[in-house]
Structure 1
Amino acid sequence: MTYKLLDQSKRYLITGAAGFIGYFLSKKLLEQGCQVIGLDNMNDYYDVTLKEARLEQLKPYKNFTFIKADIADKAIITHLFETHKPQIVVNLAAQAGVRYSIENPDTYIQSNIIGFFNILEACRHHSVEHLVYASSSSVYGANKKVPFEETDFVDNPVSLYASTKKSNELMAHTYSHLYKIPATGLRFFTVYGPLGRPDMAYFGFTNKYFAGEPIQIFNNGDFENDLYRDFTYIDDIVIGIERLISKPPTDSVPHKVYNIGNNNPEKLMVFIDTLERSLSKATGRKVEFDKAFEPIKPGDVPATYASTDLLHEAVGFKPQTSIEEGLQKFADWYVEYYRVK
């Protein structure tokens, strides 16, 4: 299968450009000579210095423009589209996290609903050629059937975060129907890697270990019925997005939703064992987590496992990175970045 190369004459707007996926995608596009406008509000949901470190690596590119702003601010978004006239928009700005949404619901409505509405409106009035936006595997809720397929029923979310992401899909579909905006939604499955999000389990486990604290594992210590996750390495995710950017939907309602995951679920405990081995290799000493087992948290689901058949059919997407390779890259980066002794 051959893939259409990214058009260097186009202007690409990436919201959430200082975020984990946004940074790696921006870097990939910039390396290919594309013009990238990066937008991020630099909020303190997690360590801002990590976001600043990502941005520092993007600043040397002459074809990169960074704007510190919030997608929930309609006037700023409108002005940005009028000034920069992006032809391709990748909306990765969102308030992430399932558990955080239980304590801080307002943030999710502001960013994920109002902010996304502002992006849709701007795309509507400025003839955007393709809107790619972040959805989430959390829309599948407590579905028992695995692997999750895009045609599955997704009207029973178990967190507000999931509700906002399902709402994004509905909103995008409506705008595609009414205004013929080509839009593609991506249901991400547990993305990990270097320069990742500290609120993700693998990063949090590593932080706890080096702080001399036990890690919390929310599976009741049930190893037979352990949690399953479709851990997907960041480089694989970016390749999938890059290919989809050049393939806007052309149906009568030009809107598509794809799972983007590893299609190879791992038990959480296997993932943890692999992380211990990776950190042992990175530090040159044996690393073993002190584990505290607790009940599964509200909003969490026992298994997330993606069918990626549709994405493979569309753009030949097939993840290449094993958890051994991916976690070793994370561990090596972590030890160097935090100067672990």
Structure 2
Amino acid sequence: MQTVLVTGSAGFIGFHLSKLLLSHGYRVVGLDCISDYYDVSLKEARHAMLAEAGGDAFLPVIGKVETPGLMMALFEEHNFDYVIHLAAQAGVRYSIENPRSYLESNLIGTFEILEAARAHPPKHMLLASTSSAYGANTQMPYREDQRADHQMSFYAATKKSTENMAHSYAHLFDLPVTMFRFFTVYGPWGRPDMALFKFTKAILAGQPIDVYNHGDMKRDFTYVEDLVEAIRLLLDAVPVRPEDGVVPEGDSLSPVAPHRVVNIGNSDSVQLTDFIAAIEKATGLTATRNLMPMQAGDVPATWANAELLKTLTGYAPQTDVEDGVAAFVKWYRAHYRPNEAGQS
């Protein structure tokens, strides 16, 4: 049985990924600090489900990745075959209010992971980045070989920095690293601070929703089960340092390190108003829109070119937004049993 470290295992993506890995016969060590950034009970429920599903194959560890020595101790004890680093302080808007938490979790936490991997190298490390790393780029769809130098938020700047940190360790210590940039992820058990959760909650309660940039925004909405399947398949797509420094066309492999960046997206850019329409269809209710200006740090559009992912794994995310939104609304109603607008 191969052992995988999943950091952020009580988080939205980490929960779904850990569940998938357990179903495929992996042993999962799940690290999470169960922070109060959003509803702690949601995170505790996710971990409880993993413990039930995985039995002895799931080992929960409560702690912060940035805690000095914690990662080194875990790597020494478990000799991980694979490491999937998802733990991070997330959210573009919150990074304006509390940037220090991003510095500690995203940068120092990643440093602790890299140092532990240097001492106890796994077969492959996969670290989460973000589509926000593309920043001010306007050429779409985004390709991994585009320059990404102008991040628009401190959150995005920290994630791009982790890509650079990981590249240096890959080069110096021959650590195979894949950085995956995921796009707007949604689905059941999603984060309460994300648009789908907030919109669904408000619409079901008969309250208005805040629609930024007056609805003139596009996102590459990626269903969470598609995302984690792509991550699972990437475990076996281990980057190898090119001996002659020549990188195949269309590949983002570094010419000097076993380091690669991979987009994971639905390869489609959906208008925010169409996304809201999908929620209205799933709920059977009409949203009252509170039109707002663009928020600082946000970008008007994202759109992934995911050809490299398909080349490496043969897989392409393809869940339709209407189907994915309907699955989320079904979960939300079952989990929260809300008193909906017009009902007693």
**TM-score category of the 2 structures, normalised to the smaller one:** over 0.9
Equivalent residue, structure 2, for 1:26 = 18
Distance in 1 between residues matched to 2:99 and 2:338, nearest whole Å: 36
CA drift at 1:211:
4.0
Q: Deviations over 1:169-193 (max 9, x none)?
A: 1011100000000000010100000
- Greater CA deviation, 185-194 or 200-209? 200-209
Distance in 1 between residues matched to 2:111 and 2:277, nearest whole Å: 42
- Aligned residue for 1:74, secondary structure, equals coil
Where structure 1 has 5 or more consecutive residues not aligned to the other structure, the ranges are 1-8, 281-286
- Greater CA deviation, 306-315 or 204-213? 204-213
Tell whether 2:218 aligns with 1:228.
yes
Distance in 1 between residues matched to 2:241 and 2:184, nearest whole Å: 29
CA drift at 1:317:
2.2
Tell whether 2:235 aligns with 1:241.
no
Equivalent residue, structure 2, for 1:189 = 183
Tell whether 2:88 aligns with 1:94.
yes
TM-score using structure 1 length: 0.93
Equivalent residue, structure 2, for 1:329 = 327
Superposed, which structure 2 residues align to 1:63-212 within 5 Å?
63-212=57-206
Aligned equivalent of 1:276, options 271, 280, 303: 280
Tell whether 2:267 aligns with 1:263.
yes
Equivalent residue, structure 2, for 1:38 = 30
Q: Deviations over 1:189-213 (max 9, x none)?
A: 0000000111111111112224443
Tell whether 2:307 aligns with 1:303.
no
Distance in 2 between residues matched to 1:151 and 1:317, nearest whole Å: 20
Equivalent residue, structure 2, for 1:318 = 316
CA drift at 1:76:
1.4
- Aligned residue for 1:132, secondary structure, equals strand
Where structure 2 has 5 or more consecutive residues not aligned to the other structure, the ranges are 243-256, 340-344
Q: Deviations over 1:45-86 (max 9, x none)?
A: 111111111111111222000000100102111111111221
- Greater CA deviation, 211-220 or 292-301? 211-220
> In the alignment, is the contact (CA less than 8 A) between 2:135 and 2:148 conserved in 1?
yes
> In the alignment, is the contact (CA less than 8 A) between 2:222 and 2:317 conserved in 1?
yes
Percent identity over the alignment is 48
Equivalent residue, structure 2, for 1:216 = 210
Root-mean-square deviation over aligned CA pairs? 1.0
TM-score using structure 2 length: 0.92
Distance in 2 between residues matched to 1:308 and 1:87, nearest whole Å: 26
- Aligned residue for 2:6, secondary structure, equals strand
Give the partner amino acid of 2:102.
Y
Distance in 2 between residues matched to 1:188 and 1:88, nearest whole Å: 19
Give the partner amino acid of 2:264.
I
Aligned equivalent of 1:52, options 44, 47, 72: 44
Give the partner amino acid of 1:82.
E
Aligned residues: 323
Distance in 2 between residues matched to 1:91 and 1:107, nearest whole Å: 17
- Aligned residue for 1:220, secondary structure, equals helix
